[in-house]
Structure 1
Amino acid sequence: SWPCWARWHEQDTFLAQDWLLTRLPFPSRFNWSELSPLGLWGRTLGLQTENSQFLLEGMPFRIFGGSLHYFRVPREYWEDRMLKMRACGLNTLTTYVPWNLHEKERGKFDFSKNLDLRAFLSLAAKNGLWVILRPGPYICSEWDLGGLPSWLLQDPEMQLRTTYRGFTEAVDAYFDRLMRVVYKKGGPIIAVQVENEYGSYAKDPNYMTYVKMALLNRGIVELLMTSDNKNGLSFGLVEGALATVNFQKLEPGLLKYLDTVQKDQPKMVMEYWTGWFDNWGGPHYVFDADEMVNTVASILKTGASINLYMFHGGTNFGFMNGALEADEYKSDVTSYDYDAVLTEAGDYTSKFFKLRQLFSMVIGQPLPLPPMIESKASYGAILLHQYISLWDVLPALLQPIKSELPVNMENLQLNESLGQPHGYVLYETVIFGGGHLHSRDHVRDRAQVFVNTMYVGELDYNTVELSIPEGQQGFRQLRLLVENRGRVNYGLALNEQRKGLIGDIFLNKTPLRNFKMYSLEMKPAFMKSLQRVSGWSTVPDYFVGPAFFRGRLWIEQQPQDTFLKLQGWEKGVVFVNGQNLGRYWKIGPQETLYLPGPWLRRGGNEIVIFEERTAGRIIQSVDIPYLGRTQYVD
């Protein structure tokens, strides 16, 4: 059989016949091979603007960029994704920086392992990629609270993304540490973005100037940029920063509209959306590859620079997905496949080869050969042979927090009084009869309701009342297992993203009191202790949760990427060797969870599932993802 490079060459030859790509009159071809980060390590001028073009060390330069988020991709695959960017014809990598991962607890910073941003930037330079850094502090990105730490919401007066003192003091401390870690003059960073899409928020006219000065005062000398959609463009400007625009459909005159807010400046599309993200209960969105590449070609024809958002989306591992709240609350799925240029697992799509052909024509020289595809494995059926009920876990592992009133997740006295950022909280109180339970819309985001261990129903944004059955005389335990499904990451409601029970719950119009609250953040230490607790039993033929289930995946050879299919399971979270793969939910669209090969090992691999309701007996390891029924982006 032909080697892989020959098949790719055959694909490129076929694409060269595309009518549009062979006939579009592009500006003069552009060869940036001499403008590499390692070759210009001692540069003095950096990226500048001169009338309608960029200059890098005084030489004409165009940004052909792609978004790749280190925190959504296993570290072992960073270089593979970068090499694929180069093979596609890109010269620049853009990445957000998620504050809520780097400072999970106030004053405790983490830039290690998969959060080693300095190593990520060095790897980009090694592979010939310049970097546009997007440090926020707000990043949006379909990420919990837009990347802002949830402990900010402990302050009842907090005003996020403003010059409110409580917010700016936290940002200053974060930027002090972040810039010391990542910034080095002469490194691969050629531009830094000031905040993100502030024109769509715009609550404080002084805020963008504050963020700009916070960067400059910490030694940033690279070109500053802003990023907004068309409607927010004029509201997100700040003097001294180049305005860029975000879109998917190239409306007539859209790029020329940039001239109305800044004259005689190079044009750049900071986010050209190559696909779209998915919400639970909706379709899997896809964006037509031909329409996408034709729009990119039209953008390049104008002489503009471009960044593909996303080049590679990756995964919202753990509990880090964001949410939208327009007409109704919708949380994002675990996969951030985004129908991007590469799949969630880093495989090529037709978009890759079409873009590779296009950029090759514009650059006017051969591109590096695409790296080999990583093989995927189907390990078959995995039996979850043991379980332990949540009710049995409580006395063994969890100490309750007691309070007369229900306390929201962020204000629980945990993590050195910094609250609980993610996961579940079990609220427990005593009742002496049944009746009408009403949440007054104080559940964030979804509560399963139990009397003792008997399931009664659910409360959420749409269901705010339940009937509690009468029982025998005496007290009973009313339990509400509340899930934080992900904080809203875009829009004007960021200050209202406290989770858990955010106010009183009423039984027969009387507010309930005297709560015990159990934190189920499911941190690594908890999951390790869970494995050692006594009380695990053989799974019966039929069982209703909430409960933890465990099994083992045995691998004889070098582990490979795979996908876990949870048919027959209802809703919960999957852990493999202590790694939180993220949420699953039978309402879809996503049907499989991505399991990276580097997180597996030869021999036994421990799988633990927290299932909220109806459990299956097995899960399937398959070699292709199932992201659900598709719908084209309008």
Structure 2
Amino acid sequence: MNFSRTLQAGLLALAMTSVPAMAARQLHFAIDGAQFKLDGQPFVIRSGEMHYPRIPRAAWRERLRMARAMGLNTVTTYAFWSQHEPEPGQWNFTGQNDLRAFIKTAAEEGLHVILRPGPYVCAEVDFGGFPAWLLRTPGLRVRSMDARYLAASARYFKRLAQEVGDLQSSRGGPILMLQVENEYGSFGRDHEYMQAVRTQMRKAGLDAPLFTSDGGAARLFEGGTLADVPAVVNFGGGADDAKASVEALAAWRPKGPRMAGEYWAGWFDHWGEQHHVVPPETAARTVDWMLSQNVSFNLYMFHGGTSFGWLAGANYSGAEPYQPDTTSYDYDAALDEAGRPTAKYHAMREVIAKHVKEALPPVPAAPRPEAVPAFELAPAGSLLAVLDKLSKPRESRWVGAMEEFGQNYGYINYRKRLDAPAKGKLVLDELHDQATVLADGKVIGRLDRRRSENSLAVDLPAGTQLDLLVEAMGRIGFGGKLVDDRKGITRAVKLDKEELEGWTVYPLPMDVAALKRLPAGGTADPQAPGFWRGTLTLDKPVDTFLDTRGWGKGQVWVNGHHLGRFWHIGPQQTLYLPASWLKAGANEVLVFTTEPPTAKTMQGVSEPVFDTPR
């Protein structure tokens, strides 16, 4: 009897261990010259981009199901180093950051996966997806052969492979292929660095087929590709742009696959600029052309979602020194921010349906965001009155970047008691990004990096308490300036040409643990930075958009979930609030403002609001 049970157990164990090998034979993906092949047959990738941290976990499956119903056979996502290693050696692959669960859910819904692990991802996220703590090391340069950076990225790849390595197509899993770095040709031409990234990936156990992805100019291919790694091309616009970009790729790699690694079917927004849209007809015609030519594609984005919390990054251009990204990453995508199919979704679904043999799954029922009644918000204390509850002060001879104080995101307050009268020009040298200047608790000025503002005239008596509250509005995530975009006052504070010394510094990451230490109520000067608290009472949880019009500028937390930044300058005037973060009954709403609100209530609306920037 015991021998029989032992034999049965051994046979079961043998059967279980053979499953991965069998699956590997059944699901074999390869890049064969100009073709992708699945199980030895030509395979056209019809992919859409979705980012797991930007979608409430409870909605992952329904959004993936929407992708399958539109006719996609693959979903693409970056892996976000910043979310998975928030502090050196501290790993987070749980909850909203459970990449493995996201990939497995995609497979369960009949979708393959393309994984873009970075280490750099862009994606309009803070620091291009790099963890902010890299900036604490003086002189460290990301995306280079800097040994300190490469040691950190090697550790990241090793941990990532432990999480998802067995899900690669090379081992029978749904991850078809992996991208090496991301659009490196738009940053540099260091092929030794690109080789180092590839070596790190392989050494870590990331052994699925590889590819690189760059824009369609020869100089970008020259900088970002590797001779023995297949390349794909990124572009926006219409069918003519697609044709030109694919031809440029074919000219560069005559024997390589034809794929749009990113077809920009929409675009993202900056605060104070216009909301971007791409006509559905343009996107549909472009997809139609690609499928008619057997060109594989990845829609960037299929579903953009929301840059919750501190996730949003920033850009810059020749005319604009600093362009912070909005919280909404709606992207004018096929699925809107709440996961509803748009006219663009239906137009592309119709095009895909005529190019594929199988019948497409029916479109699932769409989410239905609802309006919720207005609720009051009462003062919960001015920021300066509760500083000691939110932060442990640090004495410092000089001001410095928040990274120097071990801080990654949020706000930082620099305080100095003036020991002599201060009359002249107060200069915040290298201000990153927006400052509220207070004298004895009263606002005397606001400075905005977007407008290259860094100084104001002051006439203050001796003994004045000077507070400089600085907001980090997202690190630059694209181009050469991303390498050192530290936050706070990153150089000096001067009165005319004399540098001011002797500061008390309050780091304010405003994490959930710190916010729990806030008092239940309190008085506040509406003109000064402060907190507001209210209760949203619901019969049942519903998706909604919090209407932030009339609330100036600030942040919102609901039941401890950080929805993100709002700002009256637009174009975004609402914050997406998913039902899964709510409950029947009382829901706690906490608002922090740095610019004066004119409203006393907030409500939920059923549609997002994007207005003309002011």
Percent identical residues: 39
Distance change (3 Å), C-alpha of 1:581 and 1:410 = same
Aligned counterparts of 2:149 and 2:391: Cα–Cα separation in 1: 33
Matches within 5 A, 1:109-188: 109-184=91-166, 185-188=171-174
Name the structure 2 match of 1:345.
338
Matches within 5 A, 1:220-259: 220-231=206-217, 232-249=220-237, 250-251=240-241, 252-259=243-250
In the TM superposition, residue 40 of structure 1 has moved relative to its aligned partner by 8.2
Deviations 1:437-477 (A, max 9, x none): 34364211111111111111022332222111233xx4111
1:310 aligns with 2:296: no
- The one of 567, 573, 578 aligned to 2:549: 567
Deviations 1:534-576 (A, max 9, x none): 6x2367xx8222100000001112x110011122111000000
Name the structure 2 match of 1:421.
408
Instruction: Name the SS of the counterpart of 1:358 in structure 2.
Output: helix
Name the structure 1 match of 2:448.
460
Name the structure 1 match of 2:5.
none
Could you tell me which amino acid in structure 1 is paired with residue 294 of structure 2? G
Stretches of structure 1 lacking an aligned partner (at least 5 in a row): 1-36, 413-418
Deviates more, 1:201-210 or 1:121-130: 201-210
In the TM superposition, residue 215 of structure 1 has moved relative to its aligned partner by 1.2
Distance change (3 Å), C-alpha of 1:180 and 1:269 = same
- The one of 543, 562, 565 aligned to 1:580: 562
Instruction: Name the SS of the counterpart of 2:412 in structure 1.
Output: strand
Answer whether contact 1:276 1:287 (CA < 8 A) is retained.
Answer: yes
Name the structure 2 match of 1:389.
382
In the TM superposition, residue 430 of structure 1 has moved relative to its aligned partner by 1.9
Answer whether contact 2:154 2:204 (CA < 8 A) is retained.
Answer: no
Could you tell me which amino acid in structure 1 is paired with residue 590 of structure 2? V
Could you tell me which amino acid in structure 2 is paired with residue 312 of structure 1? H
Question: Structure 1 length as normaliser, TM-score?
Answer: 0.89
Could you tell me which amino acid in structure 2 is paired with residue 272 of structure 1? Y
Name the structure 2 match of 1:260.
251
Aligned counterparts of 1:603 and 1:142: Cα–Cα separation in 2: 36
Matches within 5 A, 1:352-391: 352-391=345-384
Answer whether contact 2:262 2:298 (CA < 8 A) is retained.
Answer: yes
Aligned counterparts of 1:538 and 1:155: Cα–Cα separation in 2: 41
Name the structure 2 match of 1:320.
311
Aligned counterparts of 1:477 and 1:620: Cα–Cα separation in 2: 37
Instruction: Name the SS of the counterpart of 2:507 in structure 1.
Output: strand
In the TM superposition, residue 80 of structure 1 has moved relative to its aligned partner by 0.3
- The one of 87, 93, 116 aligned to 1:105: 87
Aligned counterparts of 2:20 and 2:272: Cα–Cα separation in 1: 47
Deviates more, 1:43-52 or 1:143-152: 43-52
Name the structure 2 match of 1:605.
587
Could you tell me which amino acid in structure 2 is paired with residue 600 of structure 1? L
- The one of 486, 501, 505 aligned to 2:489: 501
Aligned counterparts of 2:393 and 2:300: Cα–Cα separation in 1: 44
Answer whether contact 1:46 1:222 (CA < 8 A) is retained.
Answer: no
Distance change (3 Å), C-alpha of 1:629 and 1:508 = closer
Answer whether contact 1:45 1:56 (CA < 8 A) is retained.
Answer: yes
Aligned counterparts of 1:451 and 1:158: Cα–Cα separation in 2: 36
1:479 aligns with 2:462: no
Could you tell me which amino acid in structure 2 is paired with residue 360 of structure 1? A
In the TM superposition, residue 218 of structure 1 has moved relative to its aligned partner by 2.0
Name the structure 2 match of 1:434.
422
Could you tell me which amino acid in structure 2 is paired with residue 466 of structure 1? L
Name the structure 1 match of 2:522.
537
Answer whether contact 2:544 2:605 (CA < 8 A) is retained.
Answer: yes
Deviates more, 1:494-503 or 1:571-580: 494-503
In the TM superposition, residue 407 of structure 1 has moved relative to its aligned partner by 1.9
Matches within 5 A, 1:90-101: 90-101=72-83
Stretches of structure 2 lacking an aligned partner (at least 5 in a row): 1-18
Computed over aligned residues only, the root mean square deviation of the Cα atoms, in angstroms, reads 1.8
Answer whether contact 2:429 2:494 (CA < 8 A) is retained.
Answer: no
1:206 aligns with 2:197: no
1:593 aligns with 2:575: yes
Answer whether contact 2:429 2:492 (CA < 8 A) is retained.
Answer: no
In the TM superposition, residue 203 of structure 1 has moved relative to its aligned partner by 4.9
Instruction: Name the SS of the counterpart of 2:286 in structure 1.
Output: helix
1:217 aligns with 2:203: yes
Aligned counterparts of 2:466 and 2:389: Cα–Cα separation in 1: 20
Aligned counterparts of 1:126 and 1:334: Cα–Cα separation in 2: 30
Answer whether contact 1:571 1:612 (CA < 8 A) is retained.
Answer: yes
Could you tell me which amino acid in structure 2 is paired with residue 579 of structure 1? H
In the TM superposition, residue 277 of structure 1 has moved relative to its aligned partner by 0.2
In the TM superposition, residue 624 of structure 1 has moved relative to its aligned partner by 1.1
Deviates more, 1:61-70 or 1:364-373: 364-373
Could you tell me which amino acid in structure 2 is paired with residue 187 of structure 1? G
In the TM superposition, residue 496 of structure 1 has moved relative to its aligned partner by 2.0
In the TM superposition, residue 39 of structure 1 has moved relative to its aligned partner by 13
Aligned counterparts of 1:248 and 1:101: Cα–Cα separation in 2: 28
Q: Please identify which structure carries the higher helix content.
A: 2
Aligned counterparts of 1:315 and 1:38: Cα–Cα separation in 2: 36
Could you tell me which amino acid in structure 2 is paired with residue 283 of structure 1? Q
Name the structure 2 match of 1:450.
438
Deviates more, 1:106-115 or 1:616-625: 616-625
Aligned counterparts of 1:396 and 1:344: Cα–Cα separation in 2: 35
Answer whether contact 1:389 1:546 (CA < 8 A) is retained.
Answer: yes
Answer whether contact 1:224 1:240 (CA < 8 A) is retained.
Answer: no
Aligned counterparts of 2:165 and 2:153: Cα–Cα separation in 1: 17
Distance change (3 Å), C-alpha of 1:219 and 1:105 = same
Instruction: Name the SS of the counterpart of 1:504 in structure 2.
Output: strand
Name the structure 2 match of 1:331.
324
Deviations 1:39-72 (A, max 9, x none): 9833367321233221112112110000011010
Name the structure 1 match of 2:603.
620
Distance change (3 Å), C-alpha of 1:606 and 1:240 = same
Moved over 4 A (4+): 37-40
Could you tell me which amino acid in structure 2 is paired with residue 552 of structure 1? T
Deviations 1:366-396 (A, max 9, x none): 1101111112121121100232111210234
Name the structure 1 match of 2:48.
66
Aligned counterparts of 2:474 and 2:286: Cα–Cα separation in 1: 33
Instruction: Name the SS of the counterpart of 1:505 in structure 2.
Output: strand
Aligned counterparts of 2:195 and 2:388: Cα–Cα separation in 1: 52
Deviates more, 1:108-117 or 1:456-465: 456-465
Deviates more, 1:519-528 or 1:334-343: 519-528
Aligned counterparts of 2:508 and 2:488: Cα–Cα separation in 1: 11
Aligned counterparts of 1:337 and 1:39: Cα–Cα separation in 2: 41
Deviates more, 1:579-588 or 1:392-401: 392-401
Aligned counterparts of 2:340 and 2:330: Cα–Cα separation in 1: 11
Deviations 1:386-413 (A, max 9, x none): 321112102344320111011211110x
Aligned counterparts of 2:206 and 2:526: Cα–Cα separation in 1: 58
Question: Structure 2 length as normaliser, TM-score?
Answer: 0.92
Aligned counterparts of 1:238 and 1:129: Cα–Cα separation in 2: 28
In the TM superposition, residue 613 of structure 1 has moved relative to its aligned partner by 2.4
